[in-house]
Amino acid sequence: MSAVNPRIAILGMHLESNAFAPISTENDFRQSCYFEGEAMLAEAAKPAPNMPAEIPGFIEVMNAGGPWQPVPIIIAAVEPGGPAEQSFVDATLARMRTLLDAAGPFDAIYICNHGAMTASASEDPDGALYAMARGVAGPKLPLLSTVDLHANISQRMFDSADCILSYRTNPHVDRRERGCEAATLMRRLLAGERWEKNMIRMPIKPPSVTLLTARGAYADMINEGQRHIAPDLPVVSILGGFVFGDVREGGITILTYGRGEKPKALAQQLAEFAWGQRERFRMTLTPLTEAIARAAQAGRNGTRTAVCLADVADNPGGGGRGNTTDILEGLLAERVEDVLLGNFVDAQAAARFHAAGVGATVCVTLNEACADAFGRAVPIEATVLALSQGTVNGRRGIYAGRSVDLGLAAAIRVGGLTMIVCSRRIQCADPMFLETFGLDISKFATLVVKSRGHFRAGFDTWYGDDRIVEVDAGGLTSPVLENFAWKRMPRPVWPLDLETRWDGAALN
């Protein structure tokens, strides 16, 4: 049964694809994270590895559990964006296949994916990767995967894997922990255990803002699922899905793995709960004018850390471009004082500020090179406060312990606004993104973040939920789902179509 020194292939390709965002290119992946073979292990062993945190966690716990032999294949990862360039997906899967064939035979395969990737000409590259790995492994070897809780689980993914383990926190602060748990589960699979698999996919595709895990219907589902974990029910994965993928398979999906009647019954119970609670997957945002008015009042009163405006519609962590201007223009038009805004993505403007130098005042048009309907060209007169080459070591929330690259970046002052302009598309989820410029978050009345939810774990020192305002502005990740021209998503679907029905039957 159990090999003495099991050889485990490790591979993965991380992308959360927003169907409405520009293509994620090979270059985007290579600039962000792409490691092959031994380079993967070398990076994973660094204090702040530039790779999905599941892999270092998996390796650590495998090491602690006895002899084994990691067989590193490829890990590629990029910030959420549009569908992946098809040629790069095809080439990466082919390269994975070649490396797997060359390095085999194995005792098991661990896939570390996000799980909500699409490609420019295919809807389910995750499924293609899983099926390829299963093809290499044959029907019997353990194939275990970790995924983001925003994964859209396709039938192919479900069928190919012995077990899919998803994150349980949003903001995702448990990525490393899930990698560790995957190693523990892997040891059990290697010892010969197998579980029955159950999947129920619901006709609910919630906007991401309703999928927090500190509170709300989704949190209740995850907690209830975990309450039933037992030796014969080791895994309950509850996916919220990623609605902006606009895929046929996806949405709220419940996976249970185990033996006996309990796992199946629990899946059914959780599905019925989700349906019963579906009203809680609808979202009401604060109108833009009301949000600006609150910031204006905070500025007038001089209250510190009074309000945090979350620009949830322009979350680079969901494919947003980080350059929309509804909130920015609103703040400038109303001459709102005492605002700190992080981080606006405009590489050309950031380079201009670097050329001008600290202390200079320059006239620059934001979005000059890339204006569109959401990110309009905004001329500003800005004073350069501080400059950075962009490397930041995260200290709190999802980037804690990770090295992050903002690209060439500057802190500038525009009227009552202090803002960060950076070159790389990344959501403002760690206080270091601002502190690295010498800025003190506690000294401002209003904080504006281009982030959907992950900022909550980074800025909780100053901003509890009661002072966070999710703003109804324009952008590629707007939770107002009616704003988008959906193509593939099966309809009706909740909460987009209020007439949606669910007959209560397990779909799988």
Q: Name the site residues for Zn ion (rule: CB under 5 A).
A: 148, 150
Nearest Cα to Cα of residue 329 among 359, 362, 371: 371
Question: Measured from the CB of residue 108, what is the shortest distance to Zn ion in angstroms?
Answer: 26
- Alpha helices, H only, 277-391: 288-301, 326-333, 347-356
Going 298 to 208 to 226 to 117, the CA torsion angle's sign is negative
DSSP strand pairing (286-287 vs 468-472):
parallel
Please report how the helices 326-333 and 288-301 are oriented relative to each other, as an axis angle in degrees rounded to 10: 50
Q: Which is nearer to Zn ion, 150 or 168 (CB)?
A: 150
Question: Measured from the CB of residue 155, what is the shortest distance to Zn ion in angstroms?
Answer: 21
Question: Measured from the CB of residue 149, what is the shortest distance to Zn ion in angstroms?
Answer: 6
Question: Measured from the CB of residue 312, what is the shortest distance to Zn ion in angstroms?
Answer: 14
Question: Measured from the CB of residue 18, what is the shortest distance to Zn ion in angstroms?
Answer: 12
Question: Measured from the CB of residue 116, what is the shortest distance to Zn ion in angstroms?
Answer: 8
Nearest Cα to Cα of residue 479 among 324, 313, 277: 313
Q: Which is nearer to Zn ion, 175 or 321 (CB)?
A: 175
> In a 10 Å sphere around its CB, with 0-12 CB exposed, 13-18 middle and 19+ buried, how is residue 192 labelled?
exposed
Q: Which is nearer to Zn ion, 299 or 319 (CB)?
A: 319
Q: Which is nearer to Zn ion, 15 or 59 (CB)?
A: 15
Q: Which is nearer to Zn ion, 167 or 463 (CB)?
A: 167
Phi, psi dihedral angles at 222 (to 5 degrees):
-65, -45
Q: Which is nearer to Zn ion, 89 or 149 (CB)?
A: 149
Q: Specify the amino acid at residue 367.
A: N
Q: Which is nearer to Zn ion, 390 or 397 (CB)?
A: 397
Q: Which is nearer to Zn ion, 72 or 115 (CB)?
A: 115
Region of 46 on the Ramachandran plot (φ > 0 left; ψ -120 to 50 alpha; else beta): beta
Question: Measured from the CB of residue 114, what is the shortest distance to Zn ion in angstroms?
Answer: 7
Q: What is the dihedral of CA 37, 41, 46, 52, to 10 degrees?
A: 80
The DSSP H or E segment spanning 8 is strand 7-14
Q: Which is nearer to Zn ion, 331 or 398 (CB)?
A: 398
How far, CA to CA in Å, does 324 sit from each of 335, 471, 494? Answer: 18, 13, 27
Residue number with the shortest CB distance to Zn ion?
A: 150
Q: Which is nearer to Zn ion, 62 or 78 (CB)?
A: 78
Question: Measured from the CB of residue 490, what is the shortest distance to Zn ion in angstroms?
Answer: 22
Give the number of other CB atoms < 10 A from CB of residue 209.
21
Tell me which residue has tokens 């004018």. Answer: 289
Q: Cα–Cα distance between 408 and 411 in angstroms, integer?
A: 11
Q: Cα–Cα distance between 316 and 476 in angstroms, integer?
A: 9
Q: Which is nearer to Zn ion, 14 or 352 (CB)?
A: 14
Question: Measured from the CB of residue 326, what is the shortest distance to Zn ion in angstroms?
Answer: 24
Question: Measured from the CB of residue 15, what is the shortest distance to Zn ion in angstroms?
Answer: 11
Please report how the helices 54-64 and 175-190 are oriented relative to each other, as an axis angle in degrees rounded to 10: 40
The DSSP annotation for 86-121 comes to HHHHHHHHHHHHHHHHHH---SEEEEE--SB--BTT
Question: Measured from the CB of residue 118, what is the shortest distance to Zn ion in angstroms?
Answer: 15
Phi, psi dihedral angles at 364 (to 5 degrees):
-135, 145
Q: How many CA atoms lie within 13 A of 403 on its CB side?
A: 13
